[in-house]
């Protein structure tokens, strides 16, 4: 049978991607589309970029706009959601906590309520390893007691808990992904992080090696780690994107609620990031040792066993892949997507 356009449209169900114009959101949107799914991106463009969405269906607006979310869900026949939209600057969250509680927590709660009304019952949520704070044991498992060291992390934990209650009291089912340190750029060099809006280590290292900053500051070299600098779990953003596809598969197949770490399981120090950058770029990275940053743990890396067991996911890209793609992206996009 040849279906009419309208009949075909009625059959197509889109995924709603909130925050899909951001760094992780745009790269994940691309991976979700590559998996054969159609999407609609919702983003305020406060921090995201229209260009990063490319030719994906796009609506500019806020997750807290209940009527808009309902309209988008109905027009696009949405049956599942990947929820990235949030503010994520840790320092700013300590200076302006209200902005974070309002946008992240209240906004998400309004989104969940609209999804309920629209009959959308599957959600993948973008959380953070920041909920572990200073883990007493590494690698850290999902069982560790949360110990948020910032308002930003607390907002993510509050949203996790809100979602937990929606999944207890309504037909909602969720996968919560606790990202470790998302890093790198798309392999084709077209999507990446805007270093003008990032406080994270790798964009700062790239700025220094590319001559856009005099030096990168190394926040402390007296931690109880092998070389004294902070140890983290850097995960390639495309590997992270594929974890979302696996989570959507899990929920579509009727899978149960999950909270999973998304990391490599390996710790890398600040000095090792600098060394890898020197290896990949063939240039010296100017750096300067400064004081520790308040609240920074010595080491935080994932036990990634659960996500491998439950979703069959494991990372495929190396630290050098992260550095190579980040270097290529920042070199060609010093103004992010405005370049």
- By CB under 6 A, residue 250 contacts ligand WQD: no
- By CB under 6 A, residue 288 contacts ligand WQD: no
In this structure, what token pair is assigned to residue 155?
């907002």
Give the whole-angstrom CA distance, residue 217 versus residue 227: 16
Among 116, 187, 200, 272, binds ligand WQD (CB under 6 A): 200
Q: Minimal distance in Å, beta carbon 306 to ligand WQD?
A: 19
Among 181, 264, 268, 277, binds ligand WQD (CB under 6 A): 181
Give the whole-angstrom CA distance, residue 26 versus residue 55: 11
Among 38, 96, 217, 281, binds ligand WQD (CB under 6 A): 217
End-to-end alpha carbon distance in the chain = 48
- By CB under 6 A, residue 293 contacts ligand WQD: yes
Strands (DSSP E) found in 100-183: 122-128, 173-179, 181-183
In this structure, what token pair is assigned to residue 241?
């994107």
Q: Minimal distance in Å, beta carbon 256 to ligand WQD?
A: 26
Pick 25 or 73: Cβ nearer ligand WQD: 25
Distances from the Cα of 139 to the Cαs of 73, 263, 303, in angstroms?
A: 39, 10, 5
Half-sphere exposure of 259 (CA within 13 A, CB side): 18
Site string for ligand WQD, 80-99 (x = CB under 6 A): --------x-x---------
Q: Minimal distance in Å, beta carbon 132 to ligand WQD?
A: 9
- By CB under 6 A, residue 258 contacts ligand WQD: no
Give the whole-angstrom CA distance, residue 13 versus residue 293: 45
- The answer to whether the CB of 124 falls within 8 A of the CB of 81 is yes
- The answer to whether the CB of 105 falls within 8 A of the CB of 155 is yes
- By CB under 6 A, residue 296 contacts ligand WQD: yes
Taking CB under 6 A as the binding criterion, the range among 50-58, 199-207, 301-309, 316-324 that sits at the site for ligand WQD is: 199-207
Which of positions 99-158 make contact with ligand WQD (CB under 6 A)? 128, 130, 153
Which of positions 18-57 make contact with ligand WQD (CB under 6 A)? none
**Between 319-332 and 270-281, two packed helices, what is the crossing angle to 10 degrees?**
60
Run of H or E residues at 16: strand 14-18
Pick 196 or 293: Cβ nearer ligand WQD: 293
Q: Minimal distance in Å, beta carbon 133 to ligand WQD?
A: 9
Q: Minimal distance in Å, beta carbon 61 to ligand WQD?
A: 22
Run of H or E residues at 323: helix 319-332
In this structure, what token pair is assigned to residue 200?
């994270």
Q: Minimal distance in Å, beta carbon 155 to ligand WQD?
A: 11
Mind giving me the DSSP string for 55-91? TS-EEE--TT-HHHHHHHHHHTT--EEEE------HH
Q: Which residues are catalytic?
A: 152
Taking CB under 6 A as the binding criterion, the range among 99-107, 213-221, 315-323, 328-336 that sits at the site for ligand WQD is: 213-221
Give the whole-angstrom CA distance, residue 74 versus residue 93: 34
Pick 48 or 130: Cβ nearer ligand WQD: 130
Rounded to the nearest 5 percent, the helix, strand and coil shares of the chain are 45, 15, 40
Among 170, 199, 316, 339, binds ligand WQD (CB under 6 A): 199
Q: Minimal distance in Å, beta carbon 24 to ligand WQD?
A: 8
The contact set with ligand WQD (CB under 6 A) reads 88, 90, 128, 130, 153, 181, 199-201, 204, 216-219, 230, 232, 270, 293, 296
């Amino acid at each position: 049978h040849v279906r009419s356009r309208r009949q075909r449209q009625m059959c197509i169900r889109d995924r709603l991607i909130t925050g899909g114009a951001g760094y992780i959101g745009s790269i994940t949107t691309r991976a979700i589309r590559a998996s054969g799914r159609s999407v609609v991106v919702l983003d305020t463009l406060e921090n995201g970029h229209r260009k990063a969405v490319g030719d994906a269906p796009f609506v500019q607006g806020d997750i807290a706009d209940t009527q808009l979310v309902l309209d988008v869900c109905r027009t696009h026949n949405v049956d599942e959601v990947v929820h990235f939209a949030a503010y994520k600057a840790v320092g700013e969250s300590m200076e302006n906590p209200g902005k974070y509680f309002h946008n992240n927590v209240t906004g998400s709660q309004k989104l969940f309520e609209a999804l309920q009304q629209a009959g959308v019952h599957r959600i993948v949520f973008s959380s953070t390893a920041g909920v572990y704070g200073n883990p007493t044991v590494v690698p850290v498992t999902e069982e560790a007691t949360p110990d948020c060291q910032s308002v930003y992390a607390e907002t993510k934990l509050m949203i996790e808990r809100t979602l937990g209650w929606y999944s207890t009291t309504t037909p909602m089912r969720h996968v919560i992904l606790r990202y470790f340190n998302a890093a790198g750029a798309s392999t084709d060099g077209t999507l990446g992080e805007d270093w003008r809006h990032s406080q994270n280590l790798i964009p700062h290292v790239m700025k220094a090696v590319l001559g856009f900053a005099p030096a990168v500051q190394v926040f402390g070299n007296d931690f109880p780690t092998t070389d004294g600098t902070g140890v983290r779990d850097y995960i390639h953003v495309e590997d992270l994107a594929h974890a979302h596809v696996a989570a959507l598969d899990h929920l579509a197949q009727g899978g149960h609620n999950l909270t999973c770490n998304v990391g490599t399981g390996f710790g890398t120090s600040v000095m090792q990031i600098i060394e890898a950058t020197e290896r990949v770029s063939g240039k010296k990275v100017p750096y300067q040792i400064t004081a520790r940053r308040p609240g920074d743990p010595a080491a935080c890396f994932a036990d990634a066993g659960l996500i491998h067991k439950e979703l069959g996911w494991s990372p495929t890209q190396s630290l050098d892949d992260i550095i190579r793609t980040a270097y290529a992206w920042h070199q060609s996009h010093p103004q992010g997507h405005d370049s």
